[in-house]
A and B are shown apart, each in its own frame.
Chain A
Amino acid sequence: MRGQMGPRHIAPFGPRAPLRRKGGGDTLPPARARVRPVEFPAARPTGVRSLDSIQVAMVKPPKWALLLGGVLLLAVLAVGAFTVGPFARGGIVQPIAFPHDLHAGTSQIPCMYCHHSADRSQDAGIPSVQVCAGCHIPGGQPLVRADRPEVQKLVAYWREQRPIPWVRIYDLPDHAHFPHMRHVNAGLECQECHGPVETMKEIELNQPLRMGWCINCHQEKQVRLDCFVCHY
């Protein structure tokens, strides 16, 4: 079952954080609108800026210093990225602790009951508050588990007619296009990319969500592999 491929492909550093939507990405891709320029905070004193200062002061740092500086920088940044980043495991707090295991698992609600546009749109669709309210408080009357504190939060959102600001877990960089409908209509189970959602108390990213992971599947299924299929 391909749904189990996720853990096998976990990066050596542990679960990966979602890629930055604006900016980031693995090869510094172009991004939507303005991007914070990439800075080289530690590299400048040892490497880049030394080129300028050499012109003036004729001070020549040895090669090994340059190389060591770079390597140290890499180590520091790499450790920082996977330990203290805000996306470290458990760092995500959703506005409502929505249990997918209860809805998709126990209650056997089909994924597309809520993510209704997955077979016709690029976006799977995040259910509107109305969809949640439709089951839990139809017509404003409490029906399903309306006494639970988390459902009470939903009731509050609905009463105030405010959208629920979910934190995005699955986020591809902007230069990669993933049309949901193409994959759903090809007969892929949602779990093949999203993991065993029906067993997850909280949605977590247990796939690398990197290009190599996409390519693996495209290779196995013998579908198009060229860059322009997704990157345009």
Chain B
Amino acid sequence: MSNGVERRTFLKVLGVSGAGAALSGCSTGSAEKLIPYVVPPEEIVPGMSTWYRTTCRECPAGCGMNIRTREGRAVKAEGNPLSPIAHGKLCARGQASLHGLYNPDRIPQALVRAGRGWDKLTWDQAERQLAEALLAHRGRSVFLTHSYPGSMDLLVDDFCAALGITRVKYETFGQEPVRAAHRMLFGADAMPVHDFSQADVVLSFGADFMETWGSPIDYAYTWVQGHAYSRGRRGKLVWVGPHQTLTGLNADEWLAVVPGTEHIAALAIARLIVDAGASAGGAAATLANVNVDTAAQQCGIGRAQLEALAAEFARAGRSLAVGPGIGATHNAATAVAMAVAILNSVAGNYGRTVTLARREEPVTGAASYADLQALIPRLRGGAVGALLVHGPNPVYSLPEGEAFAEALGSVPFVASFSPFLDETTERARLLLPDHHFLESWGDFVPRTGLTTLVQPVMTPVFSTKQTGDVLLSTAARAGAALRNAAPTYYDYVRGRWQREGLITGGGDFDEGWRAALQAGFVVSGAAIAPAAAGATAATPAAAGAAAVTTPGPAAAASPAPAPGTGVAPVINAQGMPALAALPAEFAGAGAADSLHLVIYPSYRFYDGRLADRPWLQDLPDPISKYAWESCVEINPRTAERLGIDNGHIVTVRTAQGEVRLPAFPYPGVREDTVAIQLGQGHTAFGPYAKGRGVNALRLLAPLADPLSGALLYLQTRATIAHTGDWERPVQAGLRLDDAGRHIAQRLSLEDARHKDELRGLALLPAGAVPAGAATGTGAQPDAEAHLGTDPQPGHTPEPGAAAASAQAGAGSDVHEESGVGGGHGAEDVHPNDAVVRSLQGSGGWAPATIDASPQGWPPPGTHYGEYSETQPRWGMAIDLDRCIGCTACMTACQAENNIAIVGPDNIRKGRSLHWIRIERYWHGEHHEDGVSFLPMLCQHCSNAPCEPVCPVYAAYHTPDGLNAQIYNRCVGTRYCANNCPYKVRSLNYYTAEWPEPLNWQLNPDVTVREKGVMEKCTFCVQRIRDAQNVARREDRGVMDGEIVPACAQTCPGNAIVFGNTKDPNSLLRRVMESGRGYRVLEAINTQSAITYLKRVSLGEESAAASGGH
């Protein structure tokens, strides 16, 4: 240094004064208090977790939930493994429900408008005001609610009937076209339940069933069951539409038909199937008019493609067509839905992969967008005296939101039950904030025959009150007699359960109720287990269903049930308009520079109702990787033509308006189409949501589908202009490909089969059914293992026997024996086999030997690191064929490990803190050859590049094979991050803040890091220690499957397996030894502990694309 103070001297002084500060640090703290319970709650033991079962209400899917609480606070959400629609899994939205519970922007209590501000009210006063207003406007009131079948639905109906209120039940994604199609064709205004696990070929007409469409967790889970590679067989997903959502990216084939011609394509395929001999049923007349050649021309695809698809799709009930998706709703959307139904019908899928006897209940009977549109003039015209809003946020979620807001001004009394000050609520007069669902009692009917329970997992955070209770006491105050009045909503729910006999099996109601609470749901009728067996038992459906549940080729060979049996509903030809005469028409189609605008639902924010969850804002979008921001997706060729690159600020202009946002060149959108995601651009809703990105709905023409009343999300045309500005994008992954590094590898189906054949595995025919999946319950054993409640006995205990097995495992001869022998022999009776077989059956893993396996390191006779022969060796396997790239693991990890929310500016600088991230890599020179998703987390390398460069030994290897990061040693040099080839270490550039009460969520088992500390994945070491502590207490070893890291726990595809690589019987070892195993960047000899299983591609795989293996 030029100033004369030597660096060395300076550091000495700094060190000395630093020590002084550290010493003084010990004495300046205030005395901490230990506050015991006065009377301890029965179920709480300090320091131990208490779990509650409840139901997720973040979107209408209603997945079952397990909530982990510590000392009376909810700290982690997980899926309920018993739930038939959650399968133990949650999406990122469900994981982030805790950020709804602890959101600092919740309305703390009842408020009433006072000038420009709010006055506090007691609940007594608030209810009195509500009752007075309802009495004053009796007969002129409207109650706008979400659709929530269950007790609350009945209560609202009762309440409305007693007080002369009109109810409008609106769900933003109400699936109006699907319902209208089923109404017209089959006379049932409903969305059927789909069973993807039974389908070899799935044809999705823009339905993002892994994200928001129907019951996304169930659909994603069952789709992986039916689709992922297993014993030589793999399913196929074809995506039809102008824009690929995350579900579309998972497709094996993308048919980018001309927007608005999806139904023409579907009908052409149906025609080809009928021509090949299938019965057309009621659709015969319609299909007779279809000219395949004309259709192919209209759709912009070749006839050969349609013929190939038809040949694949006609497989006697083992295929499935779904759609249209929300983002594919144009003014022929109902025609698309009808064409899809016809396609399913002629392929014999009704009663097999799609069941109208069981419905996605939340959309049943919901009002359409057109109904809500019709409400606006009524509000404006003064016909409505009082408007109550419970759920919807029309000022945000309607294209004519501003008109709705203005109309609200004409309504004398507006009350909102929203827990947040959203756009509609901030225009209300009276705020009656509802409890968060984790503080509430209630029930919900996600599907016909399945009733789930909602129970409070902790005492309310704020002085809110459950809307059910408010309605009950308001009705009493207004002197209105409800049909089933009860003192509290809890009693109301119980009353309904008692009345409707939801607790079956006789016996005491209270006992049954407790059992239901424990399970989280009840099933009525024989409806649940296999989805295909959904029809009532007394009809011929039973026979058909039984045939379907027969595994293997038997099912494929069994004839399609005759129409009219109740399994396959009969198409009512009378109700069917001439479909081909309903092509979508797009205004302004002639203009040369105008593009189709697709507005599609967000995986993270749903319809925008979850935009104020900090975790979800911080979570990069699965595709664009933009966080906190919106972007417009443009085909790279179009972008190039317009001179636009990633991060360029463009304006998107329609007749309705104009928005300014960054561009993201995206190969998954047609050249004549641009796409913007829903969910952002709030003008209220708290600081986490307000002013982030754009609200694309403001670009939409307020048009409704003439047949179904759905909002047309793909109807408007837009022009794009470059503003000339560029901003560093708030984006977590800047590249589309892996720069030729073979990070996400693939192999062809033939190669995968060949490898398994070499291993001597019995393979299924390439198109056959996995045995486990055919029963619909193949997932059960692994789900139980995940919960840890049903550990398989006889596993290698941790210290003693594992050492022996580790030594045995070092020899390659033992390898081959265990690898092949474990796979197929009927004589193999290891207790783990049931689990292994079920997993194989559900798609994915077959044991096989792999040479450079982690347990082979360090080589025998050498001494590297601190490995101990008496310790386990933790490792992981990730099957890329089961990863759908949904990023649920990222939020689960963030919740489990107290990972800070960094905000947009830090993400811009590449300072994201996620310990696991989902890479998406396009294959092919021009990104035309499909996408692979790859979860990237600390590889816990045995030969870790980060460890030797740490000057303070903060990064080191533990005897049980973990790459540890010791926070109290770390001085933040970042050498380790620089030396990590996987880029999975991140530094805390700031001391994180969790505004009260967000900090209530922090996991007490994990240290909260502060500024200057490097952090990374620990393989959830707190869960490892916890399992070890429990095992030691019970005087046994840790069992396989007992430790499940947060990412593996929530993965809807079951892509992640964690375990002890030294235990030759562990599930992990068997998965690792699959012929598809490889390690990322293996050539640099990091000896990582994570084995990836190559994605299986249906196309020809060139040597380069498969990584040269």
Contact = CB atoms under 8 A, between A and B. Distances in A.
Interface of A: 16-17, 19-35, 37-40, 42-43, 46-48, 50-51, 54-55, 60, 63, 66-67, 69-71, 73-74, 76-78, 80-82, 84-87, 92, 117, 119-123, 125-130, 157-158, 161-168, 171, 173-177, 179-182, 185-186, 224, 226-229, 231-232
A123 B46 contact: yes
A13 to B, nearest CB: 9
A47 B20 contact: no
A77 B24 contact: yes
B25 A23 contact: yes
Contacts of B14: 43, 47-48
A164 B1033 CA distance: 31
A51 B1002 CA distance: 40
13 contacts: A25-B26, A33-B999, A35-B1010, A69-B13, A77-B21, A77-B23, A121-B45, A130-B38, A164-B35, A175-B967, A186-B1032, A226-B964, A227-B958
Given A126-B34, A166-B35, 8 more contacts: A20-B29, A28-B18, A48-B14, A66-B9, A73-B16, A74-B17, A80-B24, A227-B958
Contacts of B17: 40, 42-43, 47, 69-70, 73-74
B1029 interface: yes
Given A66-B9, A74-B20, A34 B25 contact: no
A42 to B, nearest CB: 7
A226 B866 contact: yes
B722 interface: no
Interface in B24-38: 24-38
Interface stretch (B926-934, B1018-1026, B1044-1052): B1018-1026
Contacts of B38: 128-130, 157-158, 161-163
A27 B1008 contact: no
B1009 interface: yes
B971 to A, nearest CB: 9
B966 interface: yes
Nearest to A68: B13
A129 B36 contact: yes
B12 interface: yes
Given A21-B29, A120-B45, A63 B37 contact: no
Nearest to A116: B45
A109 B550 CA distance: 64
Contact of B958 (A21, A47, A226): A226
B46 A182 contact: no
Contacts of B25: 20, 23-25, 28, 38
Contacts of A228: 958, 962, 964, 966, 1018, 1021
B48 A63 contact: no
Given A33-B999, A74-B17, A128-B38, A81 B1013 contact: no
B386 to A, nearest CB: 42
B1029 A179 contact: yes
A70 B1025 contact: no
B968 A126 contact: no
B13 A30 contact: no
B959 interface: yes
A24 B5 contact: no
B506 interface: no
Greatest chain B CB density within 10 A among A29, A82, A164 is at A29
Nearest to B36: A126
Given A67-B12, A226-B866, A127 B29 contact: no
B3 A77 contact: no
B34 A166 contact: yes
Contacts of B24: 77, 80-81
A161 B36 CA distance: 11
B3 A71 contact: no
A171 to B, nearest CB: 6
Given A117-B45, A130-B39, A181 B20 contact: no
A134 B38 CA distance: 12
Contact of B33 (A16, A117, A165): A165
A33 B13 contact: no
Interface in B563-619: none
Contacts of A16: 26
Contacts of A158: 38
Contacts of A21: 29, 32
A177 B5 CA distance: 42
A106 B563 CA distance: 86
Contact of B27 (A35, A80, A181): A80
Contact of B968 (A30, A54, A71, A81): A30
Nearest to A69: B13
Contacts of A73: 16-17, 20
B1005 interface: yes
B752 to A, nearest CB: 37
A127 B992 CA distance: 34
B964 to A, nearest CB: 4
Contacts of A128: 36-40
A122 B1005 CA distance: 10
B864 interface: no
Contacts of A25: 22, 25-26, 968
Contact of B1025 (A40, A80, A171, A177): A177
A142 to B, nearest CB: 19
A177 B45 CA distance: 17
A93 B203 CA distance: 73
Contact of A232 (B33, B959, B1022): B1022
A165 B1008 contact: no
B3 A54 contact: yes
B1029 A24 contact: no
Contacts of A71: 16
B982 interface: no
A168 B19 contact: no
Greatest chain B CB density within 10 A among A84, A126, A232 is at A232
Contact of A24 (B29, B47, B958, B992): B29
Nearest to A119: B1033
A218 B39 CA distance: 37
A174 B1008 contact: yes
A70 B21 contact: no
Contacts of B6: 63
A125 B46 contact: yes
Given A40-B21, A77-B24, A121-B48, A163 B36 contact: yes
